Structures are given as C-alpha cells and as structure tokens.
Amino acid sequence: MIKIAVMGHGVVGSGVVEVFYKNRESIQQKAGHEMDIAHILDLREFPETPYADKFTKNFDDILNDETVKIVVETMGGVHPAYDYVKACLQNGKSVVTSNKELVATMGAELIHIAKDKNVNFLFEASVGGGIPILRPITQCLAANEITEIDGILNGTTNYILTQMIQNAVSFEDALKTAQQLGYAERDPSADVDGHDACRKICILSALAFGKHVYPKQVYTEGISKITLADVAYLESIHHVIKLIGKTKKLEGGKHVFATVYPAVISSHCQLASVDDVYNAVMVRGDAIGDVVFYGRGAGKLPTASAVVADVIDCAKHLETRKLLCWADGDDDYVADYKTDTVGMYVRMNGNTDAIKADVNGAFSGVKFLSRADAPADEIAFVTPAMPEKAFDEKMQAVGGEIQSKIRVLDL
Amino acid sequence: MIKIAVMGHGVVGSGVVEVFYKNRESIQQKAGHEMDIAHILDLREFPETPYADKFTKNFDDILNDETVKIVVETMGGVHPAYDYVKACLQNGKSVVTSNKELVATMGAELIHIAKDKNVNFLFEASVGGGIPILRPITQCLAANEITEIDGILNGTTNYILTQMIQNAVSFEDALKTAQQLGYAERDPSADVDGHDACRKICILSALAFGKHVYPKQVYTEGISKITLADVAYLESIHHVIKLIGKTKKLEGGKHVFATVYPAVISSHCQLASVDDVYNAVMVRGDAIGDVVFYGRGAGKLPTASAVVADVIDCAKHLETRKLLCWADGDDDYVADYKTDTVGMYVRMNGNTDAIKADVNGAFSGVKFLSRADAPADEIAFVTPAMPEKAFDEKMQAVGGEIQSKIRVLDL
C-alpha cells in the first residue's frame, strides 16, 4: 500500500482527490500498487467532504509519516510550497506538483535534491494543465535535437484574443466576460501581462535545452494594448494575434532566445486555430519536424488528471529516478531578444503620405494594410523579418506617432 | 555498452541508423548507457553506407548474439517479422517496432511473451509516425477513463482529401500527384481503402481500452468514392470530409465501436484543420476533456525518431517491464457499427421534387444543401444523428438513386 499526501485543497488539489477516488481501481491497476490518500493539508476547514478525517493543518503530520511515499503539492506560490517540497524530497518522498511558479524559479535546485535522494520530482501539470507535454518532450522526442518551442500557454489571454478576433469585442469587454466566466482572476495581471506564460516557457526551455531559464530573464509583454483596429488590419491579410511563448536554441547551443509577447501569425499556422481557453504547444525537432499538443490548458479536472498521472508514474518508479534533469542557469544564457529576427506590424497616426514616404525610404518590401472605417490619419504596415535592433534603427527615420507595434512570427 | 540490432534497412530502418548516429551523444546521455548498433539485417546489399560491415543476411547472427539487448524491427508485413520478433522476445531481448500490421494482428500475443520474459515490446512508431501518442495515452492520460479516440491516421488519404477540398482537384488527379510526390504507393489500396488507418485504430483501441481489436472486426471504408460534388455541397455548410478512424467505449465498457470511414466534420473541429500529409489524434478522457496530438504521421526521420525514443526507453528500463498490456480480443467485443449514432449526408439523382417530398416524409429535421452548377436532377441533404440502422430503414421510403452517402460525426 502506497500512501499519498495532498498539500493544498484548492481547485487543483480537490480535483486530485476527486479524480483519485473516482478512478481509483484503474489507477491502482496502472500503478501496480494499492494506493490511498493518507493526509490532506489545508488551513481551511472542509467539514462537508467525505474525506474530512484526512485533513490536517500541520505539515509535520505529512513529513514525519514514513508510510507516505508520494506528496502532491497544489498550494501554489513559492512560499511555503518551496520549503515543504524541499523538506519532503530531503526526507526521501517523491513530490508531484502543478505549481509553475515554484518549478520556474526553483526547479533546478529541487531536481538536484530529488536526484541526490533517489526520488522523483514531477511536474507535468505545471505546463498546459492536463495536456501531456513535458513527458512527451523528455521521452518520446528523446531522439530529436529540439530546436524551438512555440506555445499558446495561457487560456485566459487566448480567450480574450479569440473574443476580439471572432466577435470584435474590445479587450476591456472581453476581460470582463472572462472574469464573469471564472477564466480570469479579479486581479488579472498574472495572465494578461504574460507572467503565467513566462513561467511556463521557462519550464519548457529548461526541459528542452537542459538549462534553467529564470522568469526575470524572459522578455515578457502582455496583451492589454492590443486593439480591434490591429485585429482588423491583420485579418485583411489572413493573420491573427496570439500570445506566444517562444524558446529557441541559437547556433552552437550556448544561448537561447526566450520571450513572451503578442505575435502576429498566419492563419495557416496550426496555432492560429487554437481558440478560447485552449492551449497548444508546438515543438520543433530535427528528426520529427513540427509536433503540436493541444487541449485544455487549465481547469480543475484536466490539471488534476495530469497530477494523478505523475502520481502513478511515481508509484511505478518508487526507487528508479527518472532521468529528468537540467542545470542551473546563468546570466549570459538568454540572448538579447532585440537580436532575434522578427517582422513587425506597425500602426501609426500622422500625415499618412509623409509616413508612407518615410517607411518606403527606410525599409524595402513593406506591405501596407487597410481596414474598413480607418481614420484618415491612420496607416498600418508590416515589415519583412529582420533583427529587431535593425527595425528600431530604421524606424528612427520615420515620422508620425506609433500606436501599435506587434512582432510577426513565421512559425 | 548496450548493443542494438536493426532488422530491415528500408526507409524507416535506414532512418533509425541515421538518427542514432547523428544524435548518438545525447541519446546515450538520455539513456544513461553507452550504446551501439551491432547488426543490420537486410537481404539487399548496401556497399555505399559507412556501416557496411554491420550488415548481415542471417537472422541467427542477431538472435544468438547475447550482447544484443534491443532489436529494432522495421521490416514491415507479418511474415517473417512475426517469427523474428517472437524469437527475439523469447530469447530475452527487448523489441521496438514501427510495424503496425504486426502489432494490429499479433500485438496481444507478443506483449504477453514480453511480459513473461521481463523484457519490453514497444511500438510508438506504429501509430502517427513520430507523433507521441501511445506513450501519452498509457502514461500521461493514465488518470483518465478514456471514452473515445478519433483520428486522422493516414497521411496519403489526408493529402488527397486536402487537394480535393482546397484546390478542387479530383480524387484521381490528387492520387496521381500523391504518387508522383512519393506519398502514395504504386498500388495505393492499403492507404486509399483505409486498411492502414484500420490497423492504427486497432492499436489505439487496444491501448485505450485494454482489449485487442482485430483489423477484420473493424468496418473499413476508403475514400475512392468521394467526389468534388460532395466536397462542394459540404463546403456550403462549413463542413469538410476527412478519413476518420474511431474507437468508442460503449456504456458499461464491455463493447466498443471501431470504424474507419470518410466522415463529414464541422470546420470548427480541431481535426478539420489538419491538412496535407499531417496526422492528428483526438483523445477524449473523463477528466482531461479533448486532447489532440498533431504532426507528421509518416516519413523516414519522423518515424525513425519515434523508434529511437523507444530504444532509449528500453535502454533505461532493461529489467523493468513497462506496464503496457492488453488482453486478447473476442468475437463479440466490437459492436455492430450500424447501431452507432451518426448523421448522414446523402446525394441523389432523380425527380428532385419527389425525392424532397419522400425525404421530408421519412425524416424530420433534414437540411437540404446547394452548390453552384448542380444538375437539375441532383439533390443533397444531411439528416440528424440517429442509429445507422434507423437511417437505412427510413431511406427505404425514399425514391431516386443514391450517389453518395457519407456519415456525419459531431466530434
């Protein structure tokens, strides 16, 4: 009998308990062991649940219970989750977490502790909710040299952008609806400003390329400045705006680009048809080409299902350390995003004839766009791809006021 | 040092050798072992390859080499692949195969032998080429009760249908182009008639639901009767035709539906935007909802990459049997596809007024379709979903000549 503890009985944690007991028979069969949840740690009271007798407010009840071999951490945030997880690993317990902030900031250290103690530290649910991504990258694509990962990693922002693109709802109104539907928090900044997607691209980059990228190293830009005017201009050339997390290995493999920003992509790209709260991750490998994983990136049961799958994996490999590993990061590892090659969509106000002449003088191969009911002083265009630094320099020669500037990715 | 043998140096086998030596360093690192290819079995001569000294025409050189722990089977077909694989497993060697025909017909037996001998029998490359599907289903989605799998499982037919839908190329012309591009064989029947997709849905069904489905139990219909007229009618209601392999657990779990046929799906369905030679598999689980895996379903390097990933997995678990298992099938397991609930698209010739009256008399809620330049004696319509048997009965009362009948799936 393998005993499990669950730390944090919020949305995901309660889902873990629910999924475990609902599918317990087949879970035990797949794990090859009898299993039960022994403790649930939460400071709140849950007298109504059928598992009320399993609740504790004291972490030591879990840490000191030697029959507990697998601990699930679904508390969120870095503290005290980090201290609890570290203590569990050091005590020889495997840990499964859905906490992307914890993994993105402390992953390398926790993996090393797990390795030293010959236990597992698994976190499939930290990226893409229930979509299998991390294990396929580390196992199924193991024969590939992965060169790039691009993903729609945040369901809230994708819902908002979908509303803007398909129904011409403004950013503000779409955000309000997302809050009403429970897709966005009352303080939506972690989603809307790109921080959530940033943590996930850190984890994906570390797994794919073997070295930690810290959130503060990732250039991160949110979607709050996107307007319906931009959506309309881009629709005219069959392109859409998506919040894309990107990590790409540079020539030689010593550096990576790692960014999160709203990007213009062709509607032919497989990521363009990922709508509403869905997530998708595109992995590019030298042998496999492009592979896309698609599904619900958040939500109680999808995320819980990924956590429980990791629990099963821990139970199957109680003494076998999984060879999932990455090195600490360093200050030089992430290259300046301004040296990455991107096209640029620009919307400006001013004397459009003068701007057009400036733009054509500064760039070659620019495409000017049109939309219905555009003001007479508005102009929009897309430049060919070039290092962003070169774009910035060329734009010095262009008069007028920039309203929008969105990078164009050729995925 | 773990020694590997490769049986069959065709497209996939030569790709396996290429990928292995190209990425050998990182493959060994991931496997945690030094590894090398000791033998390559093929009756043909390959004097030009750098590995000419590894070739043998004698299977016993592999079978009797005790240093060979992992054997890759990329010969294709059931014989002699089955006999060789069986002998290797019985001799305590793990086997990795890309051979869908072998797994679909003999999988249950070979898995049991592997289990008895405490070795691995892995076949990720047999479905979806390089796309990770089988391992995610067995591991990452292990906490789910999978209820249904629908997939575009054959790249050749998907290329042909894409040409018909996007470029109004006829079936015959699209097939010719596919043959010129090397996507279709000179004898295209295994692809075009659905047999290849049938083998893959057998494997997916067995993995998802734990019981073998044999190819002869699967109702299989190809795409050769699809016309541009059908494509045009369905485009008018934003639907497309895709060759869909489907397996679905029936209430109680004792039976499944397992079918392969061209199906009408909404263009909003994630499978509808899977074009050209790409494959995609949609897995429906009780906790996760819908998850889609997308990528190149065939080709030398993608398929080889999946094979090599399985080899790495074997090397990591030389003595640990993976808990991948299914039971033998039986005659009653697959339910009559005529009892499955589907809508039906029908195109007919005759007196259209009389047919319309008959159809409206027999069915309620039918939608009549139109297309440009339709002959005066042609009529097309879509019925609501009902058991196919009921559709057949109702159609008895409808006069006129049926030209096309394509099932409509609400995925």
Contact A305 B144 (CB under 8 A): yes
Q: Are B90 and B117 in contact (CB under 8 A)?
A: yes
User: Is pLDDT at B323 greater than 70 in this prediction?
Assistant: no
State whether residue B266 is helix, strand or coil: strand
Nearest CA-CA distance, residue B131 and chain A, Å: 6
**How far is A297 from A159, CA to CA, in rounded Å?**
11
Contact A305 B143 (CB under 8 A): yes
B269: left (phi over 0), alpha (psi -120 to 50) or beta: beta
Nearest CA-CA distance, residue A135 and chain B, Å: 7
Assess whether A173 and A306 both reside in one domain. Answer: no
Q: Which residue in chain A is spatially nearest to B142 when comparing CA positions?
A: A309
A312 touches B: beta carbon within 8 Å: yes
Nearest CA-CA distance, residue B210 and chain A, Å: 11
Confidence at B206, pLDDT banded by 50, 70, 90: very high
B260 CA to centre of own chain: 9
User: How confident is the model over B330-345, as a mean pLDDT?
Assistant: 97
Contact B143 A312 (CB under 8 A): yes
* Domain stop point among B296, B325, B353: B296
Confidence at A320, pLDDT banded by 50, 70, 90: low
Residues of B with a known catalytic role: 200
On the 0-12 / 13-18 / 19+ scale of CB atoms within 10 A, A112 is middle
Q: Which of residues 114-153 of A touch B (CB under 8 A)?
A: 124, 130-132, 135-136, 139-145
Residue of B23, B273, B291 with shortest CB distance to A143: B23
**How far is A100 from A90, CA to CA, in rounded Å?**
21
The enclosing H or E element of B326 equals: none
Assess whether B177 and B287 both reside in one domain. Answer: yes
Q: Which residues of B touch A146 (CB under 8 A)?
A: none
Assess whether A292 and A150 both reside in one domain. Answer: yes
Contact A309 B142 (CB under 8 A): yes
Residue to test with chain B: of A207, A276, A291, A316, most B Cβ within 10 A: A291
Q: What is the largest CA-CA distance in chain A?
A: 77
Confidence at A321, pLDDT banded by 50, 70, 90: low
Q: Which residues of B touch A131 (CB under 8 A)?
A: 288, 291
Residues of A with a known catalytic role: 200
Q: Are B328 and B308 in contact (CB under 8 A)?
A: no
Confidence at B304, pLDDT banded by 50, 70, 90: very high
Q: Which residues of A touch B143 (CB under 8 A)?
A: 19-20, 23, 27, 304-309, 311-312
Contact B143 A306 (CB under 8 A): yes
Q: Which residue in chain B is spatially nearest to A302 when comparing CA positions?
A: B288
Other CB atoms within a 10 A radius of the CB of residue A102 amount to 25
**Within a domain: residue B326?**
no
The answer for residues whose C-beta is within 8 angstroms of residue A66's C-beta and 6 or more apart is none
Confidence at B333, pLDDT banded by 50, 70, 90: very high
User: How confident is the model over B105-125, as a mean pLDDT?
Assistant: 94
User: Is pLDDT at B320 greater than 70 in this prediction?
Assistant: no
Assess whether A44 and A68 both reside in one domain. Answer: yes
**Within a domain: residue B321?**
no
- Predicted local confidence at residue B130, as pLDDT: 86
Assess whether B404 and B374 both reside in one domain. Answer: yes
Q: What is the dihedral of CA A152, A155, A161, A166, to 10 degrees?
A: 100
Q: Which residues of A touch B321 (CB under 8 A)?
A: none
Q: Which residue in chain B is spatially nearest to A311 when comparing CA positions?
A: B143
Contact A23 B143 (CB under 8 A): yes
pLDDT in tens, B127-146: 998 898 998 888 878 888 89
Number of H helices, E strands in chain B: 14, 16
Q: Which of residues 314-333 of A touch B (CB under 8 A)?
A: 316, 320, 323
Q: What is the rounded end-to-end Cα distance, in angstroms, of chain A? A: 48
Assess whether A157 and A245 both reside in one domain. Answer: yes
Q: Which residues of A touch B19 (CB under 8 A)?
A: 143, 287
Assess whether B201 and B308 both reside in one domain. Answer: no
pLDDT in tens, A242-290: 999 999 999 887 899 999 999 999 998 999 999 999 999 999 998 888 9
- Predicted local confidence at residue A143, as pLDDT: 83
The enclosing H or E element of B325 equals: none
Assess whether B107 and B159 both reside in one domain. Answer: no
- How many CB pairs below 8 Å do chains A and B form together? 176
**Within a domain: residue B343?**
yes
**Within a domain: residue A114?**
yes
- Predicted local confidence at residue A167, as pLDDT: 96
Residue to test with chain B: of A139, A152, A166, A267, most B Cβ within 10 A: A139
Give the number of domains in chain A.
3
Residue of A136, A286, A309 with shortest CB distance to B143: A309
User: How confident is the model over B241-252, as a mean pLDDT?
Assistant: 95
Assess whether A9 and A106 both reside in one domain. Answer: yes
**How far is B153 from A78, CA to CA, in rounded Å?**
43
Q: Mapped to the 3 state alphabet, what secondary structure does chain A carry?
A: CEEEEEECCCHHHHHHHHHHHHCHHHHHHHHCCCEEEEEEECCCCCCCCCCHHHEECCCHHHHCCCCEEEEEECCCCCCCHHHHHHHHHHCCCEEEECCHHHHHHHHHHHHHHHHHHCCCEECHHHCCCCCCCHHHHHHHCCCCCEEEEEEECCHHHHHHHHHHHHHCCCHHHHHHHHHHCCCCCCCCHHHHCCHHHHHHHHHHHHHHHCECCCHHHCEECCCCCCCHHHHHHHHCCCEEEEEEEEEEECCCCCCEEEEEEEEEEECCCHHHHCCCCEEEEEEEECCCEEEEEEEECCCHHHHHHHHHHHHHHHHHCCCCCCCCCCECCCCCCECCHHHCEEEEEEEEECCHHHHHHHHHHHCCCCEEECCCCCCCCEEEEEEEEEEHHHHHHHHCCCCCEEEEEEEECCC
pLDDT in tens, B71-100: 999 999 999 999 999 999 999 999 999 999
Q: Which residue in chain A is spatially nearest to B15 when comparing CA positions?
A: A287
Share of chain B above pLDDT 90, in %: 85
Share of chain B above pLDDT 70, in %: 99
Share of chain A above pLDDT 90, in %: 85
User: Is pLDDT at A31 greater than 80 in this prediction?
Assistant: yes
Contact A305 B285 (CB under 8 A): yes
Closest CA to B406 of B250, B177, B224: B224
- Predicted local confidence at residue A323, as pLDDT: 59
Q: Which residue in chain B is spatially nearest to A306 when comparing CA positions?
A: B140
Closest CA to A258 of A227, A223, A218: A218
State whether residue B280 is helix, strand or coil: strand
User: Is pLDDT at B182 greater than 80 in this prediction?
Assistant: yes
Q: Which residue in chain B is spatially nearest to A18 when comparing CA positions?
A: B287
Contact A294 B291 (CB under 8 A): yes
Averaged pLDDT of chain B: 94
Assess whether B63 and B123 both reside in one domain. Answer: yes
* Domain stop point among B267, B296, B325: B296
pLDDT in tens, A215-250: 999 999 999 999 999 999 999 999 999 999 999 999
**Within a domain: residue A286?**
yes
User: Is pLDDT at A402 greater than 70 in this prediction?
Assistant: yes
Share of chain A above pLDDT 70, in %: 99
On the 0-12 / 13-18 / 19+ scale of CB atoms within 10 A, B158 is buried
- Predicted local confidence at residue B325, as pLDDT: 77
User: Is pLDDT at A322 greater than 70 in this prediction?
Assistant: no
**Within a domain: residue A46?**
yes
Reading the block at residue B406, the tokens are 């394509």
Contact A292 B289 (CB under 8 A): no
Closest CA to B213 of B263, B248, B251: B248
Q: Which residue in chain B is spatially nearest to A325 when comparing CA positions?
A: B30
CATH number of domain containing A10: 3.40.50.720
Q: Parallel, antiparallel, or unpaired: how do β-strands B239-249 and B146-152 relate?
A: antiparallel
Q: Which of residues 246-275 of B touch A (CB under 8 A)?
A: 270, 273
Q: Are A49 and A40 in contact (CB under 8 A)?
A: no
Q: What is the rounded end-to-end Cα distance, in angstroms, of chain B? A: 48
How many CA atoms are closer than 13 Å to the CA of A361, on its beta-carbon side?
Answer: 11
Indicate the DSSP class of residue B270.
G
- Predicted local confidence at residue B244, as pLDDT: 98
Q: Which residues of B touch A292 (CB under 8 A)?
A: 292-295
- Predicted local confidence at residue A236, as pLDDT: 96
User: Is pLDDT at A407 greater than 80 in this prediction?
Assistant: yes
**Within a domain: residue A323?**
no
Closest CA to A295 of B137, B209, B278: B137
Contact B316 A323 (CB under 8 A): yes
Averaged pLDDT of chain A: 94
Residue of A26, A289, A311 with shortest CB distance to B302: A289
**Region of poorest pLDDT, from A164-168, A321-325, B172-176, B350-354:** A321-325
User: How confident is the model over A295-315, as a mean pLDDT?
Assistant: 92
CATH number of domain containing B373: 3.30.70.1150
Residue of A140, A285, A323 with shortest CB distance to B135: A140
The enclosing H or E element of B104 equals: helix B100-117
What ipTM was assigned to the predicted interfaces of this complex? Answer: 0.86
- Predicted local confidence at residue B322, as pLDDT: 63
Q: What one-character-per-residue DSSP string does B230-249 give?
A: HHHHHHTTTEEEEEEEEEEE
pLDDT in tens, A363-381: 999 999 999 999 999 999 9
Pick the most confident of A28-32, A272-276, B392-396: B392-396
Assess whether B66 and B89 both reside in one domain. Answer: yes
- Predicted local confidence at residue B256, as pLDDT: 97
Place of tokens 């409206």: B360
Confidence at A318, pLDDT banded by 50, 70, 90: confident
- Predicted local confidence at residue A28, as pLDDT: 94
Contact B131 A291 (CB under 8 A): yes
Q: Which residues of A touch B317 (CB under 8 A)?
A: 320
Contact A288 B270 (CB under 8 A): no
Question: Long-range CB contacts (< 8 A, 24+ apart) of B168-177?
Answer: B168/B228, B168/B231, B170/B227, B170/B228, B171/B223, B171/B224, B171/B226, B171/B227
Assess whether A118 and A216 both reside in one domain. Answer: no
pLDDT in tens, A103-130: 999 999 999 999 999 999 999 999 998 8
Closest CA to B86 of B65, B106, B60, B57: B106
Q: Which residue in chain B is spatially nearest to A307 when comparing CA positions?
A: B143
Provide the domain limits for residue B306: 2-129+301-316
Contact A292 B295 (CB under 8 A): yes
B305 touches A: beta carbon within 8 Å: yes
Place of tokens 């997880």: A85
Residue to test with chain A: of B17, B37, B144, most A Cβ within 10 A: B144
A376 touches B: beta carbon within 8 Å: no
B309 touches A: beta carbon within 8 Å: yes
Contact A30 B142 (CB under 8 A): yes
Q: Are B61 and B39 in contact (CB under 8 A)?
A: yes
Closest CA to B292 of B275, B269, B266, B262: B269
Residue of B295, B307, B320 with shortest CB distance to A291: B295
Q: Which residue in chain B is spatially nearest to A317 when comparing CA positions?
A: B320
**Region of poorest pLDDT, from A307-311, B306-310, B314-318:** B314-318
**Within a domain: residue A390?**
yes
The answer for residues whose C-beta is within 8 angstroms of residue A396's C-beta and 6 or more apart is none
Q: Which of residues 10-49 of A touch B (CB under 8 A)?
A: 15, 19-20, 22-23, 26-27, 30, 32
